[in-house]
Structure 1
Amino acid sequence: MVTYKVTVHTGTRALAGTTSYIYIQLRGTEAESEEKILDQAYFSLGFSEGSVRTFKVDCKASLGELIYVKLSSKPFMGLDNQWFCNKILVTTPEDDEILFPCYRWLGCEEDLVLRHAKASLVFQDTNPIAQRHRMRQLEDRQDAFRFVDSERRVNEQNYVQEHWDEDEFFGYQFLNGLCPMMIQRCSKLPENFPVTEEMVKDSLGRSSLEVEMKKGNIFLCDYKILDGLVGNEVHGRKQYLTAPLVLLYCDSNDMMMPIAIQLGQKAGNDNPIFLPTDSKTDWQLAKIYVRAAEFCVLGVDFHLLRTHLVAEVFTVATLRNLPSPHPLFKLLIHHTRYTLQINILARNRLISKDGGISKYSGIGGAALDEYLKRATAALTYSSLCLPDNISERGLEEVPHYYYRDDGMKLWNIVNKYVEGVLQHYYKSDDDVEKDTELQSWISEIFTNGFQGKESTGIPETFKRVKDLIKFVTMVIFTVTAQHAAVNNGQFEFGGWMPNLPTALRKQPPEHKGRTNEISILETLPDVGTTVNGMAVLELLSTKSSDQYPLGVVPEELYDEEVPCKLIEDFQKDLEKLSWNIEKRNKKLELPYTYLNPKNVDHSVAI
């Protein structure tokens, strides 16, 4: 007779405990134990919230190397209440302690099979029983999770209200606002944007446009993806969309200043180029149209598509192709938390026919569907990889670009962590190539998430460890840091409606000199649209009550020394970055806080 000691940890969250009967069975390479009820006394303690209880499981002989633990639950006196189990620790007769992570709910009349914490690749899990469990787990998940059509704050608010109409703040937002991924260095003007030296001479002082382009001080933000889209109808009134081009100049004071705005893509007499030297109201209205365009590209492309929907692709592929013992599953599963739930809510409450975006924004209705198609077609791997994206846009040296500065440091910290974990399990490129579960994972991402288009640059297979490391770094950065950058400040920047109008009621002016304060007010959204739009932005900017910042890993999924040490190092690196960002922000008039690791969620959860 041999005895296994089983220590059961119940979660601390609300209602985690249960009065149900909990059964356990141990399965090893040589045999399995009989199913044992863990608490059969009539007046038992049950499993209360936060409890840690230890039981003995007697077996006739050693079970061999433990493969899994099976839990099941039956109601007590007809009471059907769930149980949240954090983990099971099993001490073998040889005094080896083995961790079986759980961290999920167990319902009555439900079975739950837990694999031990040691990660393994598919070709390393050689025991037939273990192999069958991996396959069954993926079959169940693939049946449960299916891909869907991907087409379908007070101080900061006061600052925005006070400075929204200033050119300095207007230019600042292209670098550190809600959508800092569009601006790019301009070495040659687009043919459809005929800005002349005469137009910008007052903005450039003694220099010229040609000279400043050669110096690398001229920048462009082009909203051509909105061209031709028909605005939504809000409260029975047609709204208007524009596709502006904005020319900016990084001046001698290192300020990013707008120097020319054209509100349509086709140059012509009825599409004037607005300048800072125009009347105050002409220039003000031109900037308002740009900010309305910013709302469109932010909400649909950079927020919805490039974080939420892309994160959903990664989540579903992970659940369908990586069993719980897989090291990549352990690395990514925390970063999928609530992603499917929040996306279901977004589909139902924001982009559905009766959703907030569809009803109260200019980009709703048919425009939303068309824009999603365009944005999906334009999505590339390099645009999701921050170092590549910064380089492609020529923004390596732009001053006061805090999104880039903090983002690159976060990217490198995540990359260091991912590299350590994956190199621990993948000892060679050959290990990557022969990992069939990994190859299925990336194949589904390529096929279902990026429509099987080689032009996106997304890999269809992995052949080298370093390619896998870069891709996984991108995945984690996208669902954590990138989401935080475009999501967290929405109410701070958009709570003052003229800075981020959700819709505009009048066509853009075809001539200069005809705008006044009354026509600006007639262009801005009405009160009902404004209130509903602000409510959406406030909801999206609100932290969840059980937020997990990046680096906080509440579940023990590893029991090996190397990955546990890498997690500790990861947390220390994030703490150091957080300290440095807070030190810098004390010197800034408007602190950039969105990529402080303390403010970065562990997943797309809001």
Structure 2
Amino acid sequence: MVDYEVTVITSNRVASTTFNNVFIKLVGTDGESERKWLISLKGAAAFIKGAVSYFTVSCPTSIGKLVLIELDKQPLLLFPEDSWFPAKVEVKSPEGHTYNFPIYRWITDSEVYRFREATALRVFEDHHHLGRYSREQELQERKEDYRWNVYEEGIPHHMKVDDPLSLPCEVRFSFTKTTEFLFTASTGLTELKLKGLADCEESWTSIDDIDRVFCCKQTDMSDYVQEHWKEDTFFGYQFLNGLNPILIRRCTTLPSNFPVTDCMVFLHGGSSLTDEMKKGNIFLCDYKQMDGVQANTINGKQQYLMAPLVLLQKTPDDKLMPIAIQLKQKPAEDNPIFFPTDSEYDWLLAKIFVRSADFSEHQLNVHLLRTHLLAEVFAVSLLRNLPMVHPLYKLLIPHTRYTIQINFLARRRLISQDGVFTQFSASGGEGLVTILRRSLSSVTYRSLCIPEDIADRGLEDVPNFYYRDDGLRLWDIIHRFVKGILGYYYKNDCEVKQDSELQKWISDIFEHGFLSKQSTGIPQRFTTVAELIQFVTMVIFTGSAQHAAVNTGQYDYGGWMPNTPISLQLPPPTTKGKATEATMLSTFPDVNTTVQGMATMWLLSQQSSDFVPLGQYPEDHFSEETPLQVMKDFQKELEVLSANIKTRNKHLEVPYTYLDPEEVENSVAI
């Protein structure tokens, strides 16, 4: 007889304990063990939360190199079946080899589950018949569990799910996450001390009234926003380092529908738009995707959503200053171009309409589509097409954590027929789907890769662009990490081409995420190692860094409503010189619309206590030395970047913290 020493580690997460009987079978290249009931001196405590328990499985002879284990649990007589969350199983063979079996999933029934040894295997090198069979069975079951569904034609597909409890256990929120999220969602208005205002359909009568509401919950950044929101310098700053840093681009030729002339913006001569454009000092923000969108009706009142064009100039002291704003796309006599030299409220109202359009552009295109919806496509395709033993599954599964459930909740609570966004934003309802469809049509692969996106927008040398600076460094660090991992497993382009599971992953993403549109530039298959590394870098960056950049600061920039109105209820001025403070207050959203927006942005900005920062991997999916070392190098590089960002921020009037790796979550989890 030979003995195999088996260590079973139960996860430390809440409710992971089982009191059922647990059984194991070891399967090797030369045979398999009997199904063994795991009995320990610990008795009923062998599989409680955080337990590490030791067992011996005996076989008549060696069963060779271990390929997989089979686990099942059976309820005791008179005891109910419970759920168990084993983290991993380690087996030491009589030959002295230690085999690791990552599990990290809920076992909720009495079925037999197979788990592969941790050494990553591509499909073409998985030669053992039982290994291949378990691989095929795993994917067959996953394709049943993770099915594609169409939410609306023309936008990325999502996972078909009826309610959170119908989600597979392994992609649901943890107990901690569920409890905290539901508490924050249900108490948002209370926490902000706004509950009594949630049904108030009155207009604001003074800025002081808005201040009294806002002062209930503030951050350092939201305080700064309240103090500086009217200033042109801060208005310009937000296009670089605010919630939407991906719209602005260097302007080399004025759009034909934006007839700004030199005498309009350079009153005293001395310069020209042509000269300034040649110097690279002129920038454009064009909200053309909002053009013609049917705005919402809120509290029985028609709302207004503009499609502005904004021209900005870099000044000699490196400020980005707005110099002209046109609020509708088509030039007309009743669509004046506004300038800083106009009256105080004409100019301020023009900027308010831009900021309100930016809210819809940010929430629907930059935030919802380009991070949440795409991250879900990447995750569902991963779960449908790659088994646990695949190296890409091991690399990407931490970057899918909570994404599917948070998106389900967004569809139910934010953009459904009675969702907060649908009810209380100018672009809610019919406009929401229109903007999402237009946004997907504008997405290109290059625009999802920050080095290419920055270059294409001509922003390589714009000063004080911290989103770019931190984002490019993060991209490079992630790229080196991905190259280190995937370069270890894929030695040449032929291995990439012959990996049928990998090709199915990207094929599904092209079809269900980008609706088979070749114009996006998304690859339909991978032909080189470099191509694979670039795409996977984009996937990780999108779900971690890019999401953090456009999500974390929502309350910072939107808590003070005048800076980011979610809706406006008067049309823009058609002539100049008539706007007053009263006009501005009447244009702002009603009280209830304001507080619902504040509560939602507060919820979406809250970090969960089980937050996992970028580069931290609590689950051990890899076992080989090289990937483990690459992971350590990745973490060290992130630590250095974090320290550098903190040092820089000490000298900034407005610190940029959103891409500090310590503040970036591994996945789209909120």
- TM (norm. structure 1) is 0.98
Deviation at 1:28, TM superposition (A): 1.2
CA contact (8 A) 2:40 2:53 kept: no
Q: Which amino acid aligns with 1:556?
A: D
Query: 1:161 maps to which residue?
Result: 226
CA contact (8 A) 2:13 2:49 kept: yes
Query: 2:242 maps to which residue?
Result: 177
Deviation at 1:21, TM superposition (A): 1.1
Deviation at 1:283, TM superposition (A): 0.4
CA distance in 2 between counterparts of 1:188 and 1:516 reads 34
1:425 maps to 2:489: yes
Query: 1:24 maps to which residue?
Result: 24
Within 5 Å, which residues of 2 pair with 1:374-523?
Answer: 374-523=438-587
Deviation at 1:416, TM superposition (A): 0.2
User: Is the alpha carbon distance of 1:205 and 1:579 closer, same or farther for their aligned partners in structure 2, counting shifts above 3 Å?
Assistant: farther
Within 5 Å, which residues of 2 pair with 1:225-236?
Answer: 225-236=289-300
CA distance in 2 between counterparts of 1:324 and 1:496 reads 45
Identify unmatched segments of 5+ residues in structure 1.
none
Q: Which amino acid aligns with 1:549?
A: P
Query: 1:70 maps to which residue?
Result: 70
Query: 2:104 maps to which residue?
Result: 103
CA contact (8 A) 1:20 1:108 kept: no
Deviation at 1:39, TM superposition (A): 2.1
CA distance in 1 between counterparts of 2:488 and 2:43 reads 48
Deviation digits for residues 130-176 of structure 1 (CA, Å, limit 9, x no counterpart): 11111111111111112222637611110000001100000000000
SS at structure 2 position matched to 1:118:
coil
CA distance in 1 between counterparts of 2:41 and 2:54 reads 15
CA contact (8 A) 2:446 2:521 kept: yes
CA contact (8 A) 2:506 2:523 kept: yes
CA distance in 2 between counterparts of 1:418 and 1:5 reads 34
User: Is the alpha carbon distance of 1:205 and 1:473 closer, same or farther for their aligned partners in structure 2, counting shifts above 3 Å?
Assistant: farther
1:116 maps to 2:181: no
Deviation at 1:208, TM superposition (A): 2.1
CA distance in 1 between counterparts of 2:551 and 2:147 reads 26
CA distance in 1 between counterparts of 2:144 and 2:299 reads 42
Query: 2:91 maps to which residue?
Result: 90
User: Is the alpha carbon distance of 1:102 and 1:191 closer, same or farther for their aligned partners in structure 2, counting shifts above 3 Å?
Assistant: same
Deviation at 1:112, TM superposition (A): 2.5
CA distance in 2 between counterparts of 1:488 and 1:33 reads 51
CA contact (8 A) 2:46 2:52 kept: no
Within 5 Å, which residues of 2 pair with 1:165-244?
Answer: 165-202=230-267, 206-244=270-308
User: Is the alpha carbon distance of 1:396 and 1:205 closer, same or farther for their aligned partners in structure 2, counting shifts above 3 Å?
Assistant: farther
Deviation at 1:379, TM superposition (A): 1.2
1:346 maps to 2:410: yes
Deviation at 1:545, TM superposition (A): 2.1
User: Is the alpha carbon distance of 1:276 and 1:148 closer, same or farther for their aligned partners in structure 2, counting shifts above 3 Å?
Assistant: same
Q: Which amino acid aligns with 2:246?
A: M
CA distance in 1 between counterparts of 2:473 and 2:129 reads 44
Deviation digits for residues 431-451 of structure 1 (CA, Å, limit 9, x no counterpart): 011111111111111111111
Deviation at 1:84, TM superposition (A): 1.4
Deviation at 1:5, TM superposition (A): 0.6
SS at structure 2 position matched to 1:598:
helix
Deviation digits for residues 193-224 of structure 1 (CA, Å, limit 9, x no counterpart): 0111111114x973222211110000000000
1:337 maps to 2:401: yes
Query: 2:132 maps to which residue?
Result: 131
Q: Which amino acid aligns with 1:263?
A: L
CA distance in 2 between counterparts of 1:412 and 1:208 reads 38
SS at structure 2 position matched to 1:71:
strand
Query: 2:3 maps to which residue?
Result: 3
Q: Which amino acid aligns with 1:21?
A: N
Deviation at 1:40, TM superposition (A): 7.0
SS at structure 1 position matched to 2:103:
strand
Q: 1:536 aligns with which of 597, 600, 604?
A: 600
- TM (norm. structure 2) is 0.89
Q: Which amino acid aligns with 1:486?
A: V
Query: 2:47 maps to which residue?
Result: 47
CA distance in 1 between counterparts of 2:150 and 2:543 reads 19
SS at structure 2 position matched to 1:547:
coil
CA distance in 2 between counterparts of 1:146 and 1:601 reads 26
CA distance in 2 between counterparts of 1:326 and 1:42 reads 35
Query: 2:374 maps to which residue?
Result: 310
What is the percentage of aligned positions where both structures have the same residue? 53
Q: Which amino acid aligns with 1:213?
A: M
SS at structure 2 position matched to 1:123:
helix
Query: 2:423 maps to which residue?
Result: 359
Q: Which piece of structure 1 moves more, 418-427 or 140-149?
A: 140-149
CA distance in 2 between counterparts of 1:355 and 1:113 reads 41
Query: 1:264 maps to which residue?
Result: 328
Deviation at 1:42, TM superposition (A): 10
Q: Which amino acid aligns with 2:39?
A: D
RMSD: 1.3
Identify unmatched segments of 5+ residues in structure 2.
157-217
Q: Which amino acid aligns with 2:584?
A: I
Q: Which amino acid aligns with 1:128?
A: H
CA contact (8 A) 2:124 2:499 kept: yes
CA contact (8 A) 2:402 2:668 kept: yes
User: Is the alpha carbon distance of 1:208 and 1:83 closer, same or farther for their aligned partners in structure 2, counting shifts above 3 Å?
Assistant: same
Q: Which amino acid aligns with 1:265?
A: Q
SS at structure 1 position matched to 2:31:
coil
Q: Which amino acid aligns with 2:79?
A: G
Deviation digits for residues 316-341 of structure 1 (CA, Å, limit 9, x no counterpart): 11001111111111110000111100
CA contact (8 A) 1:11 1:50 kept: yes
Q: Which amino acid aligns with 2:446?
A: S
User: Is the alpha carbon distance of 1:478 and 1:515 closer, same or farther for their aligned partners in structure 2, counting shifts above 3 Å?
Assistant: same
Within 5 Å, which residues of 2 pair with 1:584-603?
Answer: 584-603=648-667
User: Is the alpha carbon distance of 1:52 and 1:205 closer, same or farther for their aligned partners in structure 2, counting shifts above 3 Å?
Assistant: farther
CA contact (8 A) 1:117 1:325 kept: yes
CA contact (8 A) 1:6 1:90 kept: yes
Deviation at 1:15, TM superposition (A): 2.0
User: Is the alpha carbon distance of 1:597 and 1:205 closer, same or farther for their aligned partners in structure 2, counting shifts above 3 Å?
Assistant: farther
Structure 1: which 4+ aligned runs deviate by more than 4 Å?
40-43
SS at structure 2 position matched to 1:570:
helix
Q: Which amino acid aligns with 1:312?
A: E
Q: Which amino acid aligns with 1:133?
A: S
Q: Which amino acid aligns with 2:623?
A: D
Q: Which amino acid aligns with 2:427?
A: I
CA contact (8 A) 2:355 2:565 kept: yes
SS at structure 1 position matched to 2:266:
helix
Q: Which piece of structure 1 moves more, 109-118 or 95-104?
A: 109-118
CA distance in 2 between counterparts of 1:539 and 1:53 reads 40
Deviation digits for residues 77-97 of structure 1 (CA, Å, limit 9, x no counterpart): 423221111110000111111
CA contact (8 A) 1:274 1:282 kept: yes
